[in-house]
């Protein structure tokens, strides 16, 4: 089955306007889903003789494969981004407790996440890495760069300019602060609970 849009547009949020979310969700996120479907369809139709022209500088297959991971991660990370935004409240829950345990304090984690959000060109991502069973803040400069295989993203902070320029101009820090104000910790914990199910097996 083709990939579907499966989160929702959060609309007007504190510090993130409905206009930003309308464009971000309706055009950009939806665009990644559509492109992923288009690319997969085209890969499926590639002719056996075309595989013989595979080339790392340029080939039709190279273009499709490069686009495939960009679109797939664009879809996956935006799904996460929109599924945890809205109904903001004070940080709470199981992941919050795990953050406190690992970082020692909320401020310590928050300051690091903000800093990575300022250094990244695409995403700052809190993820659970099954290779050491720890939480990590990873930096991604593009959708298909910076991901760590097997790690599960839990909080995806989009720092591409499209996420904040309409509302904050170049003040990315103000947007990152707004992002945290709007986080839905219940939704985050639901996702975190699925890791615990895997880990306990």
In the complex with Fe ion, which residue's Cβ is closer, 32 or 185? 32
The 3-state DSSP class for residue 97 equals: helix
Closest approach of Cβ 101 to Fe ion, in Å? 30
Q: Which residue has the tokens 């250094």?
A: 119
In the complex with Fe ion, which residue's Cβ is closer, 96 or 160? 160
Determine contact, residues 159/124, Cβ cutoff 8 Å: yes
In the complex with Fe ion, which residue's Cβ is closer, 25 or 195? 25
Window contacting Fe ion (CB under 5 A); options: 92-100, 144-152, 160-168, 184-192? 160-168
Query: Order of strands across the sheet with 152-158?
Result: 134-140, 123-129, 152-158
Residues 81-100 that bind Fe ion (CB under 5 A): none
Using a 10 angstrom Cβ sphere, with 0-12 exposed, 13-18 middle and 19 or more buried, the burial of residue 161 is middle
Window contacting Fe ion (CB under 5 A); options: 52-60, 82-90, 154-162, 164-172? 154-162
DSSP letter at 19 equals H
Determine contact, residues 152/127, Cβ cutoff 8 Å: yes
How many residues belong to the site for Fe ion (CB under 5 A)? 2
The yes or no reply on residue 158 touching Fe ion (CB under 5 A) is: yes
In the complex with Fe ion, which residue's Cβ is closer, 97 or 162? 162
Contact positions vs Fe ion (CB under 5 A): 158, 160
């Amino acid at each position: 089955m083709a990939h579907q849009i499966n989160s929702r547009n959060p609309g007007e949020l504190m510090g993130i306007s409905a206009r930003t979310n309308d464009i971000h969700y309706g055009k950009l996120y939806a665009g990644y889903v559509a492109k992923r479907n288009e690319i997969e369809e085209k890969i499926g139709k590639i002719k056996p003789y075309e595989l013989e022209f595979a080339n790392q500088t340029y080939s039709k297959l190279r273009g499709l494969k490069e686009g495939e991971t960009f679109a797939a991660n664009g879809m996956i990370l935006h799904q996460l981004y929109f599924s945890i935004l809205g109904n903001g409240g004070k940080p709470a829950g199981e992941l919050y407790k795990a953050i406190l345990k690992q970082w020692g304090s909320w401020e310590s984690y928050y300051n690091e996440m903000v800093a990575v959000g300022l250094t990244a060109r695409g995403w700052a991502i809190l993820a659970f890495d099954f290779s050491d069973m720890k939480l990590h803040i990873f930096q991604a400069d593009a959708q298909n760069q910076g991901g760590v295989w097997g790690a599960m993203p839990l909080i995806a902070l989009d720092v591409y300019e499209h996420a904040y320029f309409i509302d904050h101009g170049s003040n990315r820090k103000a947007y990152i602060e707004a992002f945290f104000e709007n986080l839905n910790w219940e939704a985050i914990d639901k996702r975190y609970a699925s890791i615990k199910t895997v880990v306990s097996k």
